[in-house]
Structure 1
Amino acid sequence: MTPAPDAPGKLGEAIDPAQIQRYVVDLDGWIRARQDELGDLDHAAIAAGRGQELAGDMSLLMALWKAIHDRYQLVFATWDGGRVLQQERERISALIWGRLDGATDMPGGLAVSLPEACRLNDAMTGQLRTKLALAPDASAQAARVRDLRAQLERIRDQVGLEPSNTQEAAARTLAGLMLRLDSVTERLERGADVGGLLGPIEMEATTFERDLIVGNARRRDARSKVLSARELRADLEAREQALQKLADTCVATVDTAPRFAVPDVDALGPVPVTPDEIEGYLAKLDRVSQALEFAQHKYADALAEHADLVALLDAYVAKAQAEGVAGSADLVESEKQARAVLARRPAPISVAQQLVATYQTWLQKEIAR
């Protein structure tokens, strides 16, 4: 089983064109080879009468392969035969190291990066091969040991990404697997048949590697959600303060003003940092955001109604001046009353509406003379 090629660069980096070209070629070869291998495994499972038993594993592997293949197509299209400037090279970096969209059948519905998806596919393909016992028992045992040792080195790198509270336990698990593999290697060097010992280690190593990859993806996903939650909370706090000022202005300006409580963002408590809690907290932030937006519209509409009445009165007065009737005693008195009511704090809007309408009626009467 050929492992996936190592991905170049890192997120946000404009990857060197030569590295991109090598990766595109190697990944294309890996994708083609893995498709053939998965086809062979599927046929082997059916031939062994275990097609139904292993259908879930095959479906997940094919979903992973499809997600990888789809992302490779985007990388290949962006690569465009090497016609790439810095912007395209940065975009390729984002395609490789960003979250894989559309991979809904991954463990836990995670959106992992392209290299992580490839490693997951490698690990789970090896696990499926072990379940079907397709590896030969003779000279290939040494190759299986080499593959296991390479896998444990990948796991060592993955353990280094674990947080401090779980890293020690993960390191102990890795050390146990390496001790067992060393023991198997010694027996193999003495000429013993170790096929029965390799299978359990392969299964445990694969499960362990998969769990580490999935766990790291979950934490990264949670971290991004935590950052999003912090940014949203800061935005809501600023909006809360602005809305309170808007509400105070509205209450002081308009009678009767809307009466909506301004949501208190502090009541939500601090932003949690655990995956189990962050989803619920984000939902709460969303509800607060909707409440703030609703209240903002109501207070702004009430203030706008007052401003519209002032503008409407100004327009009627301008029309009266254009018609040469602005000096009419009835219009002068009507305007004075309307402006006096509109200038009150708070201004009774219903009365102001009637007074502006009265000015309009007097204006129509004067123009009709």
Structure 2
Amino acid sequence: MSLDLGRTASPGSTPRAPGRLGVPVTAAEALRYLTDLGLWIDARRSQLSAIDQAALNAPDQGDREALTHDLTVSMALWKAIADRYELLKVAFDSGRVGPTQAEQISTLIWGRLDVTPGQAGEAARSRVPSTADGALAVSLPEACRLSDAMTSSLRARLALEPTAMDVGLRVKSIREGIERIRDQIGLIPPGASRDKANHDLVGLEQRLFGVTERAKRGADVGGYLGPLEVDVAGRERDLIVAAARRVSGERDAATARAKVADLAARGDAIRSLQAQCLRDVTPAPKLGVPDVRALGAVPTDADAVDAFLRRLELVSRALDQAHETYARALAEREELRGLLGALDAQAATSPAITEDERADLAPLHTQLVATLASTPVPLVRARALMAAYQSYLQAVTTNVRGPR
């Protein structure tokens, strides 16, 4: 079993994807899907090339820029889909599909597909679902449907549909788009958004009904079909975007909740470290330790979640800085104590130190021990005493002595 790599492009809508995420795909299902997807990819590339040429010839500069923005996103979608298709062919391996390959194919089809619109501009990026880093967050079937919607809108805006095209076929295509919109509305949680989407759907259905009735009476409906095709494609695109953003928002919200729990625990521990530092050394650093709980609950809106994640990152950086600052102050106290122990060992074993010199070292040592044993430890005084003790000890153990 193998794929025909010499496939011939033929136009068509998104091929139906087999299975669902987590359900292995059989070799026969994979072959059928890859064959259809390959034809779709070739046809879409030809359509985008024609759209690109037509967009360059658009008379209005503003229209040309808007079309270029949408075309850039459409090309990014096509490229991501084509790349995923190549990975699917590798996993398919000419039909040698075992349990591992079947699961891998299912994941490649239904798992997350990242697409980066690149330099498409804000106008284009606002039309597509994205994460905080600007990448699209859709599955392969969703990416194909989004490409269908955007391409249909571009073709209609550029009047690329053949003038002799049968009205019945165009009406059928619009009706299929309306049914896909109905399916997308079923995914919207109950509330104002679903009510508005249903209201818009009724409006599109009424317009389609009016067009078909006019066509039955023999009237020219070409002027009605184009705008209706644009609106149906645009609405379908918007609903795909919204669905992908909901999925991305739910995933980001779960990430935010886990991060809040982590930052809350870290903050509590760092505040304990802060209290220990204020108790044990002076002067102690004076750095605030933020409490992530002050940000409130994780929001549900996708845009609000993105902003919330950015605030969490600021809290994380502030906690890192506070942790490092207070830990460094306590570490200095321990370093001074450790250095004193090393210097005492050096003084005890050095035969070069005379009794008079030991008598000089004794009061410095006593003051240093008392200073480091006090609570809080006065770090400035401890540093000065340590410098004096270390300097004198180094002088009497390293100087070359003459005859006594």
Q: TM-score range by the shorter chain?
A: 0.7 to 0.9
1:81-107 C-alpha deviation (Å, 9 max, x unpaired) = 635773895487257542523224344
2:277 aligned partner: 250
1:30 aligned partner: 40
For residues 77-92 of structure 1, the aligned pairs below 5 Å read 77=87, 79-80=89-90, 82-83=92-93, 86=100, 89-90=103-104
For residues 356-367 of structure 1, the aligned pairs below 5 Å read 356-361=386-391, 363-364=393-394, 365=396
Matched, 1:266 2:293: yes
Aligned pair in 2 of structure 1 residues 22, 324: CA closer, same or farther (>3 Å)?
farther
Per the TM alignment, residue 37 of structure 1 is displaced from its structure 2 partner at its CA by 2.0
1:143-165 C-alpha deviation (Å, 9 max, x unpaired) = 11221222112111111122322
Partners of 1:91 and 1:234 lie apart in 2 by: 35
1:21-40 C-alpha deviation (Å, 9 max, x unpaired) = 44343323212111212333
Q: Is the 8 A contact 1:75 1:96 kept in 2?
A: no
Identity of aligned residues (%): 38
Partners of 1:68 and 1:139 lie apart in 2 by: 26
Partners of 2:308 and 2:105 lie apart in 1 by: 32
Partners of 2:62 and 2:332 lie apart in 1 by: 68
Aligned pair in 2 of structure 1 residues 20, 76: CA closer, same or farther (>3 Å)?
farther
Q: Is the 8 A contact 1:252 1:345 kept in 2?
A: yes
Which of 151, 158, 161 is the matching residue for 2:177? 151
1:355 aligned partner: 385
Partners of 1:82 and 1:31 lie apart in 2 by: 17
Gaps of 5+ in 2: 1-10, 131-135
Q: Larger helix proportion, structure 1 or 2? A: 1
Q: Is the 8 A contact 2:81 2:144 kept in 1?
A: no
What's the TM-score, normalizing by structure 2?
0.77
For residues 195-344 of structure 1, the aligned pairs below 5 Å read 195-323=222-350, 330=359, 334-344=364-374
Structure 1 counterpart of 2:70, one-letter code: L
1:161 aligned partner: 187
Partners of 1:9 and 1:321 lie apart in 2 by: 79
RMSD over aligned CA atoms reads 3.6
Q: Is the 8 A contact 1:262 1:292 kept in 2?
A: yes
Partners of 1:341 and 1:47 lie apart in 2 by: 83
1:261-320 C-alpha deviation (Å, 9 max, x unpaired) = 222323323333224433443333332222222222111111111111111112222333
Question: Which shifted more, 46-55 or 330-339?
Answer: 46-55
Q: What's the secondary structure of 2:115's corresponding residue?
A: coil
Aligned pair in 2 of structure 1 residues 188, 78: CA closer, same or farther (>3 Å)?
closer
Q: What's the secondary structure of 1:164's corresponding residue?
A: coil
Q: Is the 8 A contact 2:88 2:108 kept in 1?
A: no
Aligned length: 369
